[in-house]
């Protein structure tokens, strides 16, 4: 047996892309399918260096359609398979992800957001929130973890595989170009040593026995002949999703329950929001911080509580209101005034959030 990629817990200092590759290896991912696009390339670079040492596999495909569909194929063969992409690549992958939704395939994809629309920048944005959460011609039956630190990139990449295989919905780790390219410290560990048991995988096709003789054949499809047939399937899926939602929804907060103004942000922007809130709390402002870690499904009850107890809720993001739309849908009928602070495609600093917040008092 090959040894584990990460054995003893150790502090490391590396880029986010390298973290993702190590986390996938630690999570016993077996095969990655990928296609080059900045800023996620180094996930493939590190994975292809790690993979042969730990008996894992990699396929570089002809495009992101293929990367997504080969991932689906790998999963149907029963392997813990994953892919990674960004921007225009994420657009192409919406097609395979929609098939994954339709067929309940536990695909895992790491999205390193870049600027949009179109080619835009290879650098950074939070503009792939809508697409990653709700892309495809469907209902967004997906799980999206939005990470803020390298530690979370490691933790949630591992968790993504378990959530995906437990609930069988496509699962995403949504980060961005900053997280992909920056270096900071984190602790890597072997999940099992931390009591995290990897949810076991199982093949959809190629199970034991002769189909039609020893067992029924697995006939997997995403096409239905009549409306009612589809409706019945979707009703079950949506029921499963709604039941799952409170079990997987996660958040982080600081003093959000008794604040006059609460900042809601996600991902790397929440580092700026958190810094600003902590500084202002020191100065005596009644300000709170709330950050959904799962932007789909959202921690709905907590968000509604805030929107009922706070006077103002400011949503901060490097997009023109993509998180804001998701939040507003959930806070319909609540009391708080919603304040936008949107900088599409541009990083947001602690100083900016701080000065904007002060204007609200």
Partner 1 sequence: MTVQPAMPMSWRRETKPHKFCPGCGHGLVLKVLGQAVDELNIQDKMVFGCDIGCSLLAWDFFNVDSIQTHHGRTTPVITGMKRANPNLIGVAYMGDGGGYAIGSQHLVSAATRNEKITVILVNNTQYGMTGGQMAPTTLPGQKTETSPYGRDVSKTGNPTLGPEMVNAITGEGAYVARGTVSKVNKLKEYIKKALENQINGNGFSFVEVLSACPTNWRTNAEKTWKFLEEEMAEYFKVGEFKVPGSREEEGQSNG
Partner 2 sequence: MGKPWKIVLAGEGGQGVQSVAGILADAANDQGREALYIPNFGVEQRGGVSVAYLQIGDEPVGAPKFQTADIIIALSDRAVTRTTRYTGPDTVFVYDSGIENLKDEDLPTGVKKILAIPALDAAKRELHPRVFNVIIMGAVIKATGVVPEEKAKEALEKKLGYKFEQKPELRDMNFKAIERGAELVAEAL
> In whole angstroms, what is the distance from residue 30 CA to residue 106 CA?
14
Does residue number 226 form part of the binding site for partner 1 (CB under 8 A)? no
Neighbouring CB atoms inside 10 A of 288's CB total 24
157 binds, among partner 1, partner 2, none (CB under 5 to 8 A by kind): none
Q: How far is the CB of 344 from partner 2 (least distance, A)?
A: 16
183 binds, among partner 1, partner 2, none (CB under 5 to 8 A by kind): partner 2
205 binds, among partner 2, partner 1, none (CB under 5 to 8 A by kind): partner 1
Q: How far is the CB of 284 from partner 2 (least distance, A)?
A: 19
Which parts of 276-295 interact with partner 1 (CB under 8 A)? none
347 binds, among partner 2, partner 1, none (CB under 5 to 8 A by kind): partner 2
62 binds, among partner 2, partner 1, none (CB under 5 to 8 A by kind): partner 1
Q: How far is the CB of 209 from partner 1 (least distance, A)?
A: 7
Of 57 and 305, CB closest to partner 1 = 57
DSSP strand pairing (251-254 vs 287-292): antiparallel
Quote the tokens at residue 219: 């006939």
> In whole angstroms, what is the distance from residue 151 CA to residue 335 CA?
35
> In whole angstroms, what is the distance from residue 32 CA to residue 40 CA?
13
Binding partner 1 (rule: CB under 8 A), the pick from 15, 71, 86, 126 is 71
Does residue number 233 form part of the binding site for partner 1 (CB under 8 A)? no
Question: Among candidates 306, 323, 317, 327, which has minimal Cα distance to 260?
Answer: 306
Footprint on this chain of partner 2 (rule: CB under 8 A) = 13, 38-39, 121-123, 149, 177-178, 181-185, 268-269, 271-272, 274-275, 347-352
Q: Name, in order, each residue with C-beta under 8 angstroms of 173's C-beta and a sequence gap of 6 or more.
A: 20, 108, 109, 110, 111, 145, 147, 153, 156, 157, 160
> In whole angstroms, what is the distance from residue 157 CA to residue 344 CA?
26
Neighbouring CB atoms inside 10 A of 222's CB total 12
Of 61 and 121, CB closest to partner 2 = 121
Of 29 and 331, CB closest to partner 1 = 29
13 binds, among partner 1, partner 2, none (CB under 5 to 8 A by kind): partner 2
C-alpha 256: how far from chain center: 23
211 binds, among partner 2, partner 1, none (CB under 5 to 8 A by kind): partner 1
Does residue number 2 form part of the binding site for partner 1 (CB under 8 A)? no
Q: Name, in order, each residue with C-beta under 8 angstroms of 346's C-beta and a sequence gap of 6 or more.
A: 124, 125, 318
Q: How far is the CB of 49 from partner 1 (least distance, A)?
A: 19
Q: Name, in order, each residue with C-beta under 8 angstroms of 301's C-beta and a sequence gap of 6 or more.
A: none
> In whole angstroms, what is the distance from residue 319 CA to residue 321 CA?
6
31 binds, among partner 2, partner 1, none (CB under 5 to 8 A by kind): partner 1
Q: Residue written as tokens 């973890």?
A: 145
- Is the C-alpha dihedral spanning 350, 88, 93, 36 positive or negative? negative
123 binds, among partner 1, partner 2, none (CB under 5 to 8 A by kind): partner 2
Of 125 and 171, CB closest to partner 2 = 125
Binding mask 193-222 for partner 1 (x = CB under 8 A): ----------xxxxx-xxxxx---xxxxxx
Which parts of 74-133 interact with partner 1 (CB under 8 A)? 74-79, 81, 95-96, 99
Q: How far is the CB of 205 from partner 1 (least distance, A)?
A: 4
DSSP letter (8 states) at residue 128: T
Helices 16-26 and 41-50, axial angle in degrees (round to 10): 40
- Total length of the chain: 361
> In whole angstroms, what is the distance from residue 110 CA to residue 174 CA?
6
What residue ranges bind partner 1 (CB under 8 A)?
30-31, 33, 57, 59, 61-63, 65-66, 69-79, 81, 95-96, 99, 203-207, 209-213, 217-223
């Amino acid at each position: 047996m090959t040894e584990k990629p990460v054995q003893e817990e150790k502090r490391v200092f590396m880029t986010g892309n390298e973290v993702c590759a190590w986390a996938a290896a630690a999570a016993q991912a077996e095969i990655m399918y990928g296609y080059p696009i900045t800023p996620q390339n180094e996930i493939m670079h590190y994975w292809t260096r790690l993979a042969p040492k730990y008996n894992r596999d990699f396929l570089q495909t002809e495009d992101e359609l293929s990367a997504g569909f080969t991932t689906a194929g790998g999963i149907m063969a029963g392997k813990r398979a994953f892919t990674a992409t960004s921007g225009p690549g994420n657009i192409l992958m919406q097609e395979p992800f929609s098939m994954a939704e339709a067929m309940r395939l536990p695909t895992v994809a790491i999205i390193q957001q870049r600027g949009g629309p179109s080619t835009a920048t290879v650098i950074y944005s939070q503009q792939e929130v809508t697409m990653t959460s709700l892309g495809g011609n469907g209902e967004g039956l997906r799980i999206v973890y939005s990470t803020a630190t390298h530690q979370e990139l490691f933790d949630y990449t591992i968790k993504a595989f378990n959530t995906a295989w437990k609930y069988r919905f496509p699962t995403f780790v949504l980060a961005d170009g900053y997280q992909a390219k920056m270096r900071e410290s984190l602790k890597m560990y072997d999940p099992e040593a931390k009591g995290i048991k990897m949810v076991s995988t199982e093949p959809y096709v190629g199970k034991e026995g002769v189909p039609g003789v020893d067992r029924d054949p697995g006939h997997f499809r995403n096409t239905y002949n009549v409306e009612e047939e589809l409706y019945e399937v979707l009703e079950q899926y949506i029921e499963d999703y709604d039941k799952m939602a409170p079990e997987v929804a996660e958040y982080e907060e600081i003093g959000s329950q008794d604040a006059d103004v609460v900042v809601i942000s996600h991902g790397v922007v929440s580092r700026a929001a958190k810094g600003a809130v902590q500084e202002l709390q020191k100065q005596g402002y009644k300000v709170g911080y709330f950050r959904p870690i799962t932007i789909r499904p959202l921690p709905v009850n907590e968000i509604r509580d805030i929107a009922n107890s706070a006077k103002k809720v400011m949503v901060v993001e490097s997009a023109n209101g993509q998180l804001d739309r998701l939040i507003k849908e959930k806070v319909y009928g609540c009391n708080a005034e919603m304040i936008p602070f949107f900088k599409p495609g541009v990083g947001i600093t602690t100083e900016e959030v701080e000065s904007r917040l002060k204007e609200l008092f």
